[in-house]
Chains A and B, each alone.
Chain A
């Protein structure tokens, strides 16, 4: 299955300039256009190259540990009132779906003859994945991370450094993911000849949204076949959390053509969209331009980016990949907010029913599924089958979750 991870598909594609309907495109300094064109060319050539696909497929299988399992979570299902199948991306090497994207882009970096990769990271998962691929491919690696995030994700900072990466705390703006992305862009403009900017999600200027989606779409290709094998049919719904949105696109893509399969993306609702303290760009934002692409953005009346809020560092971003904006526009996928409290309740439920500690990001998908199940059951008149992308594991979140649940022993 993995060997075909880049096989051409009939699913939706952007136009040649990377527009998904009214979204996407390139809003970048001219200095970056040549590098984006080079990347676009390298990516398209690689896609058509049997040897690249074989190499990528072998890495995914032998190094990342894919195909990941599709696991029927029976005790969780009983609590939720749906047949819940978990796509276990949490079992991948480095603990999340993100390893698929970084392996693909690291291979491309080598093909382009570049020697250095830079990345932005929020929770640190993409930074760790990038540092991992850089170690494997012998590339110099610099990771930009907001200072607020380096403090709340200190363990991941240590992991990146152990893997040989340089971690640069970003101290300007809100000192979170969006500012890390600005700083990475600035680095890229200055060092574009030898550097590839390894963007961690299906956002940013063309070709990143479509390219990243293609590198992670194995999630959905695998899940679709696994679901057919396991249940004899397609699921009624596929759910995922949405920050930038790569894990969601990765699992949605294979199902977009299956009209009967409902697609649900769950955004970080923080304290609730009505409070203004959230990271739900689609349900609580408006169309705008951020980080090189036109998409839904959290912004004020003058187009200044607003700070996002979420208990999940990986979803704490005031934009979203343009393909999601388009899937929302066309109505093909549904986007709904999930609050911090709802996500943490689902986090606890999965821990206690299945012995699986999910990433808090993925807990948003679980919480959305908990809310969706009874509605879908009522509509269908039977128990629905729901595939949930369990995009990452929760080891990195133990401190945050421990704080939330008040279960850390106090210092004496």
Chain B
């Protein structure tokens, strides 16, 4: 079983959901992103999702777009992302990577998989790569023992849902709302339905993302999902802070609140 799978099992045994926290690599700087992700782990985030900044992030809302732009303007390279993954994996927390497809294709799919595995990454979440186009990634992930997380959506048909989860390994990412990343006032009604539809066709753990930003929302999602994925709300802590120390403090506070939330599932 993959390292992510082990972490999900452990959380399940503890009667709680796993907390996945996302941060773009190189935001606000390479060192700053390592400090931010380390702080998240220390404050109770179970799994770190490192997003590779991309110039055209069509699944991301304004907060992650801005953070990605800052990272790219700072000159972060894909090779730096590998270094960041290695540093964060050293904390002991599993590190999964979220990336749009073109940076992987440009790096070379097999070389990327090899370097990711040797940096200690567990696998990839691919927001704009569907299994239909993923032959090269399926082969590379097999060859290098990496997890594959494809997205399922409220609009996925039953046939596509079954096909997609069949190609996943590690966990499945259920997008809670029809829309882009970003914290929302209410979590979605579509998400529980989507999760139960996915459960009908897979035994893999299911993480729910898009729109979660508070401990209470994390508790709600923990009531029906195996993992709670939080991005924009965490990124905003760093984005809105007047200085790095305040950003890290805000990040720790929110991480702790979310960690508390996933331990108190609302059922």
Which A residues contact B (CB, under 8 angstroms)?
17, 25-35, 37, 172-173, 178-179, 182, 185-186, 189-193, 288-292, 297, 299, 301-305
Q: Are A186 and B58 in contact (CB under 8 A)?
A: yes
Q: Which 8 A-B pairs have the closest CB atoms?
A: A303-B106, A190-B179, A31-B153, A303-B103, A303-B102, A34-B155, A185-B58, A305-B55
A189 B178 Cβ-Cβ under 8 A: yes
Cβ-defined partner of A302 (8 Å) among B66, B69, B107, B157: B107
List 20 A-B pairs, Cβ < 8 Å.
A26-B130, A29-B153, A31-B178, A37-B157, A173-B55, A173-B56, A179-B56, A182-B58, A186-B180, A189-B178, A189-B179, A190-B177, A192-B155, A288-B102, A288-B106, A290-B56, A302-B77, A302-B78, A302-B107, A304-B55
Q: How many of B's residues come within 8 Å of A, CB to CB?
A: 42
Q: Which of B170-199 contact A (CB under 8 A)?
A: 175, 177-180
Residue B139, interface by CB 8 Å: no
CB-contact partner of A301 in B106, B128, B164, B178, under 8 A: B106
Say yes or no: A30-B103 contact (C-beta < 8 A), given A190-B178, A304-B54: no
Q: Are B180 and A190 in contact (CB under 8 A)?
A: yes
Closest-CB distance, B140 to chain A (whole angstroms)? 16
Question: Chain A binding site: helix, strand, loop or mixed by DSSP?
Answer: mixed
Total A-B Cβ pairs within 8 A = 118
Contact B155 A302 (CB under 8 A): no
Docked complex Cα distance between A302 and B75 (Å): 11
CA of A26 to CA of B131 in the docked complex: distance in angstroms? Answer: 10
B157 to chain A: closest residue by CB: A34
Most buried by B among A33, A192, A303: A303
Assess whether B62 is interfacial by the CB under 8 Å rule.
yes
Which residues on the A side are within 8 Å of B77 (C-beta)?
302
Contact B151 A30, beta carbon cutoff 8 Å? yes
A396–B129 alpha-carbon span in the complex (Å): 38
B156, CB-defined interface residue at 8 Å: yes
Would A27 and B101 count as touching, CB distance under 8 A? yes
- Report Cα–Cα, A32/B69, bound state, in Å: 25
- Interface contact A182-B56, CB-CB below 8 Å: yes
- B101 contact set on A, CB distance < 8 A: 27, 289
Q: A173-B69, A192-B178, A305-B56 are contacts. A29–B103 as well, Cβ < 8 Å?
A: no
Q: Hey, which chain B residues are within 8 Å of A30, CB to CB? A: 130, 150-153, 155-156, 160, 164, 175
- A-B contacts besides A30-B130, A289-B105, A303-B107, 15 pairs, CB < 8 Å: A26-B130, A30-B175, A31-B153, A33-B160, A34-B153, A34-B155, A186-B180, A189-B180, A193-B178, A297-B102, A299-B106, A302-B103, A302-B106, A303-B106, A304-B103
CB of A372, distance to nearest CB on chain B (Å)? 33
Contact residues in B for A301 (Cβ distance below 8 Å): 106
Q: Knowing A30-B160, A35-B155, A304-B55, say if A289 contacts B150 (CB, 8 Å).
A: no
Residues of B within 8 Å of A305, CB to CB, are 55-56, 102
Return chain B residues, CB-CB under 8 Å to A35: 155
Report B65-87 residues with CB < 8 Å from chain A CB: 65-66, 69, 72, 77-78
